[in-house]
Amino acid sequence: MPFEPLVTAVIEGALNTLINDNPDSLKRLTRLKGRTIQLHLKELNKTLTFVFSQQVDVLAHYDATPDCYLSVQLAVLPELKDQANITQLIKQDKLVLKGDIQLAQKFAQLISECKPNVEEWLSRVTGDVVAHSTVHSMKALTQTMASHARKHQRHIGQVITEEWRLAPTSLEIAHYCDQVDQVKSQAARIEAKLTQILEDL
């Protein structure tokens, strides 16, 4: 199977699964029915077309003119939910938008809502109690690991600056900056005196 059809099939399958699992997303999909959005992803320099009906069809090639064209980085897409952001993003060259602005907002809301509910999916296999316990344990483990990582990062920072003296401390940096400022001031005074002497000659 060629690469592009494989990618679009994966995106299409995942998107439709997530939409079907969320009643709010299904309502949003109904409002988009019969519309098309073309999305150019700047990071990948690829364009995908989303065709909305009872489901979402994702196409790598589309010859007709879409109702809305977006050229944007994927991380910026959720910001389109708020119309105030759209003007700002266009001014900052983070977004190219042609066509229906409201359609772009509805699309951004739909995509933002499409987050997998791991607990719901797991409960279909293991049951509610096991799924809830597993997800709760995983969240606790993730938080503990993040906390340990932060502590290790702080410890390494202290070792590098205080014990091994490989990097200056914040006080040393501040002292160095003060010294640089003093040298600049002295140089400016000397330059002013030299200028005055040369003018007197």
pLDDT, tens digit, 9 for 90 and up, residues 28-48: 888 889 999 999 988 888 899
Output the pTM of the full model: 0.56
Q: How many folded domains does the chain comprise?
A: 2
Helices (H) and strands (E) in the chain, counts: 7, 5
15 neighbors 58 (Cβ within 8 angstroms): yes
Asked if the model's pLDDT at residue 62 lies above 70, the reply is yes
Domain residue limits at 125 = 120-200
pLDDT of residue 164: 62
Are 52 and 126 in a shared domain? no
What is the average pLDDT value for the chain, to the nearest integer?
A: 78
Alpha-carbon distance of 142 to 35, in angstroms, equals 40
pLDDT of residue 1: 44
80 neighbors 86 (Cβ within 8 angstroms): yes
**CATH classification at residue 14:** 3.30.1050.10
- Which is more confidently placed, 54 or 188? 54
Asked if the model's pLDDT at residue 179 lies above 90, the reply is no
- Which is more confidently placed, 106 or 151? 106
